[in-house]
Amino acid sequence: MIRQHLIFFGIVQGVGFRWRAMQAAKLYCCTGWVRNDYDGSVTMELQGTRPQIDKVLLALRSSRYTRIDRVVDWEIPIIPDERGFQVDYV
């Protein structure tokens, strides 16, 4: 089990990115959250196995409505009792 903090840059706001992230996370049994940031990027924390996280990221990259130009990511400590995935609204 790992947890990644990810920041997505590109055309990622106003195109259903957070909704798609939530659906993919639920489909592949990942937990965490996603939110829009004021600079036009999207931040997400995603927790699961490496294959689960890779499937979520593949789903996000394959959307025809978004364009991910760059992703900055790093591993962070897991949250043992986390349940579900949510969209945070700022």
Give me the torsion for CA of 16, 19, 47, 73, rounded to 10°: 10
Gap between the Cα atoms of 2 and 46, Å rounded: 8
Mean pLDDT computed over 19-23 = 96
Q: What is the pLDDT of residues 23-79, one digit of tens each?
A: 999 999 999 999 999 999 999 999 999 999 999 999 999 988 899 999 999 999 999
Could you confirm whether 20 is annotated as catalytic? no
Confidence (pTM): 0.94
7 or 89: which leads in pLDDT: 7
State the DSSP code for 21. Answer: H
Residue-range domains of the chain with CATH: 2-74 (3.30.70.100)
Contact between 47 and 31 (Cβ < 8 Å): yes
Q: What is the pLDDT of residues 71-82, one digit of tens each?
A: 999 999 999 999
Could you confirm whether 61 is annotated as catalytic? no
* Torsion sign (Cα): 48, 52, 57, 63: negative
Q: What's the longest Cα–Cα distance across the chain?
A: 34
Q: Active site residue: 3, 18, 67, 83, which one?
A: 18
